[in-house]
Structure formats: structure tokens, C-alpha cells
Structure 1
Amino acid sequence: MLVTSCDHELSTVENVKFSEALKYEFVGLQDGSALQEFLTDQAARMGVRFQYRVRLPSAEAVCRMVERKVGVAILPIATATRLTHVSAIRMAELDELWASRKLLICTQSFADLPSYAQHLVNHLRDDTVNGVDRGQS
């Protein structure tokens, strides 16, 4: 999801192309973040370089800076949705095939996992986390 301040030019759109978002300065996660590396690779494939205004250690810090109009950000939907309850931010879905990722949990035998690991897997497999539809696995 693209995250913007409430009065940003893109705050009223429901969907946005990655190429359009790249026209703005970004607030990103710090070096080494898997998400930022992935986004940097996607931008490089388009021949574009990210314009980072600042890079921060957490999604919460990113949203605070977005709220203060430092730039825009791209965050996972569950994270962005959770943070809309504590920050004055807006979300727009990225209109790109690669923007929807399917994450998998792999184990040789679920029954052989310790009970705490089974509880974790069950929690992660819940269809709804914080009101966000996560789909079926």
C-alpha cells in the first residue's frame, strides 16, 4: 500500500501505479529491510532510482514522518491498516501485479511442532488479522 499524508496529492486516489508514486520523495525503512530492497529492485527494473528523504527503523516511525508530510511510503497492507488507527495517514493500493505477494509457512509435520509453534502457525494462518483479509493458504 502507498501511504500518504491526509492532504497529499495522492491521498484521494484508491489505486496508484508504482511509476506515479516514484515521482515523490519517499520515507523508507532502513538499509537491509527486505521490503525496501524489493522496492528498490522494482524501481531499478523501471530505470528509476528511489528518492529517499529519510530512512527509519520502524513502520511506526515511517508513518509518523508521512503524517508530517516528509514524504510517501510503501508498507504492507496489514501494517498500514493498523497504523491508520494511530496516525493521520491515507492508503492507496499499488496497481502492480507484483504488489500482491503470497507468503507460505513450511514445516515437515505440523503435528510434530511444539505446541507454542503450532499456536504461532495457527495465528499466522488466521484469515483475518486486524480486520485485513489475508486470504486462504
Structure 2
Amino acid sequence: MSLELFIAVAEERNLTHAARRKHLAVSAVSKRISELEEQVGSPLLVRFARGVSLTPAGQSLLFYARQVHETLKRLDNELSEFASGVKGHIRIHAITSALSQFLPQDITRFAALYPNIRFDVEERVGSAIVRAVAEGKADLGIITDSTRSQGLETVPYRRDELAVVVPAGHPLVSSSRLHFEEILEYELVGPHADSSVHTLISTAAEAAGKPLKLRIRISSFDAICRVVSAGLGIAVLPRSVVQPYRKNYQLRAITLQDPWAKRSLQLIFKKHDFESPTLRTFIDSLTACEE
């Protein structure tokens, strides 16, 4: 390709060295450069006894030639990956809500279509996820819209709804809807202090001017349901997380009317990483599942 040959000449500043680099005769290199100059309609090189330098037209052509060369190289890599089936390795850091509700099923669905892609999935709190993506330790993060994305690219993923979880026989069990302020007189079973749910309920309690009566902190949603079932407090959890435990643990999920109880989960990534066909295909799959 003439542009690729011109790049070699421009970088070597010598026709002989460029010819050796491209495994061509010097006369062939000189002929191709002359043909380029004829197409451009302007000299590209100033020739000296021991080398060459670029004219202003040559400098301009070098700039665009490198861009074209890089674009074609990325295109070739991308098409070759798709030709043999999308392959790769995606590192995901996600909050507990995403891991407990949506992500496992979405990965399973995607893996059925692209079995050559490997996944590393880690559970983290929102702020740690943002940091990991920004530092390149994760390719993709899943956080709530209440967590600041610090300039990373974001796209909507799913929505969830927080509900008040109470055991059988609790004074609130007959309620159909509640405001968060109404539950503050009861002892709570809460998630760990860095979780997005804890941040929300702490902020809401502060706004109501009342303290959180946190009796127990547990990081696992499953364990929270078990502890609530044992009568050690009530909790605020995503409604769909509670659903599998309602019958066996005799739990009731009561609608929480506060606006912050309806949350948007978001995918976060670096713009540069989105150029990877593997990650882009996976993100497209996740956003197509948005409800």
C-alpha cells in the first residue's frame, strides 16, 4: 500500500532504509513516492544526498496516512475477531443489587451466543467500582444513578425498586404502602456502610431528622432476608431480591413511596475501552435487555 510505504519513508527519512524495512528495491520505493506526488499534485519530499525531509504537503499527508493506517488496522482486527466468533475477556465490577437481580441471567444469555468470551465478575460498592473502571482494573462497572460516575461514559442498564421487608407478625405487615419516615421507629437490619442502599437510607433518615436504628449490618442480601425472617429487624431491599424468599421465610415486601426508592442502574466504562468489539457487543446486549 502506497500510504504505508510513505509512512516508512517519512519515519526513516531515507529511501534506502525504508526500502530495506519494506523488503523492496529502492527504485520501487522511489517510483511509488513519485506516483503519490503525482496524485497529490505537489512534492512530498525534499531529497538530499543522504536522505529526505518532508515538505508541508508531506507533513499533512503523513498525519492523515497514519490515521488511515490505524483505522484500517483496527478494522482488520475487529473483523477477524468476528469472523472467528467474538473472543475476549471482560472484567466486571458490580454492586450487589445488579448481581442479585439481573447480571447472572444476562451473562448466561450472552455466553450462549458467544461461548469464547470469559468473564471475571466481582462484587464491589459503587465508589470502588468507579475507581476500578477509571484505573483500568475493570472494563465495565454497574452502579446506581446515585453514585457519581466521575466523567466515565454511562448508559442505562436496568431499573429496580426498593421495598420495606418485614417478617410475619410485624406491626407493619398489613401495610400496602409506606413512607420511609414511618419505619424509622423500628430496628433495621442494614447492608454494609459503603453500599448504595445504606447511603440512600442514611441520607433519607438525616433528611427526616431521625436516627437509623441499625441493629445488625450484613453484606449479603440473602443473609439480611434470613435475619429479618428471624424477627431481628426490618430491612430496605430491592423488591425482586426478596421475591424468592417470601414464601419460605414468610416475608412481606411493602411498597416504599419515596421517590428515591425507584432507582436506575447504570453501566460505566471508559470511552476508549468501548472501541473493543468484545466489550461493545456485550454492552449492546445488556442495553437491549433494559426494562
TM-score normalised by L of structure 1? 0.78
How far residue 12 of structure 1 moved from its aligned partner, in angstroms, is: 2.0
Alignment pair present for 1:126 and 2:289 = yes
Residues in 2 aligned to 1:95 and 1:79: alpha-carbon distance in whole angstroms: 18
Residues in 1 aligned to 2:194 and 2:219: alpha-carbon distance in whole angstroms: 10
1:76: which partner in 2?
Answer: 238
Structure 2 gaps, min length 5: 1-162
1:67: which partner in 2?
Answer: 229
Residues in 1 aligned to 2:247 and 2:278: alpha-carbon distance in whole angstroms: 32
- Verify the 8 A CA contact 2:164 2:254 in the aligned structure 1: yes
Residues in 1 aligned to 2:281 and 2:264: alpha-carbon distance in whole angstroms: 20
Bigger share in strand: 2
2:177: which partner in 1?
Answer: 15
How far residue 84 of structure 1 moved from its aligned partner, in angstroms, is: 2.5
Bigger relative contact order, structure 1 or 2 (CA pairs below 8 A, ≥6 apart): 1
User: Is the deviation greater in 74-83 or in 98-107?
Assistant: 98-107
Alignment pair present for 1:102 and 2:246 = no
Q: CA RMSD in A?
A: 2.6
Residues in 2 aligned to 1:80 and 1:34: alpha-carbon distance in whole angstroms: 17
Determine which structure has more spread, i.e. the larger CA radius of gyration: 2
The one-letter amino acid paired with 1:92 is I
- Verify the 8 A CA contact 1:105 1:121 in the aligned structure 2: no
Residues 20-54 of structure 1: CA distance to partner in whole angstroms, max 9, x if unpaired?
11111000112211211221011101111100111
Bigger share in helix: 2
**Aligned pairs, number:** 128
How far residue 9 of structure 1 moved from its aligned partner, in angstroms, is: 1.3
Residues in 2 aligned to 1:75 and 1:125: alpha-carbon distance in whole angstroms: 25
- Which of 23, 37, 43 is equivalent to 2:199? 37
The one-letter amino acid paired with 2:257 is D
Measured at CA, do residues 105 and 8 of structure 1 come closer, stay the same or move farther in structure 2, by a change above 3 Å? same
